[in-house]
Amino acid sequence: MTDLSVNVDHVATLRQARKAAYPDPVEAAEIAEQQGATGITIHLRSDRRHIHESDLASLRQTVKGKLNLEMATTEEMTTIALRYRPDQVSLVPERPEEVTTEGGLDLLSTGERVVAVAKKLEAQGIAVSVFVDPEPRQIEHLLSTAVGCVEGFEINTDSYTKAQGAEAQAELRKIVQVTTMGLEGGLRVYAGHGLTTANVGPVASIPGIEELNIGHSIISRAVIVGMEQAVREMLHAMA
């Protein structure tokens, strides 16, 4: 079965709405792991709009599975990653005005910077993944420039989740294509963005995708039914 890494960013979003001490993303992460999640994902943004460095410090001490830190390719974030040493760093694009990550890295234009950061992290034993759209040219560039310092890539499933009917099937075929390319090139493959219990099944069933990173839909559902039930529902849908 495909693994589930639960993104707890939006527990912190709810906390920051009142600048309170609760709800605690660390507590949410503990519950998610107890219910079967194999990892926890957080995005430490430069504006600290949800997750804070103190959350990363606490999660580094409490997460029993894989702690995956999403971050931009900045010197500040590289220094923080080297300080706390998460199990994996996922390099993502970041713009101050975006509501959430709006697309994958364009490795053709930013690949040099990505490789430089990846080499620093890999040298200290931190696995590195990159967040990319399901475009063959991005995977080709990754395979030609970053093998050795980048362990894998996460496929941006946003277009698939927004499509309907034949368009959704076409987007799914793109995901299958780049998954095959990555596996043949010796890379690990992950996926995520916009996945819900209603659309996750076809992606979870693609051979070779070993982990899905899902946050917003799980946390939104948890507001209604609780964290335990929300994680169990997602795992059931993935199966």
Active site residue ranges: 43, 70, 193
E strands, 72-109, are 88-91
**Structural element, H or E, at residue 35:** none
The encoded tokens of residue 151 equal 């362990």
Q: Rg for the chain (alpha carbons), in Å?
A: 17
What whole-number distance in Å separates Cα of residue 139 and Cα of residue 150?
12
Residue 204 · residue 175 · CB < 8 Å: no
Helix (H) or strand (E) holding 212: strand 209-214
d(CA 171, CA 157): 8
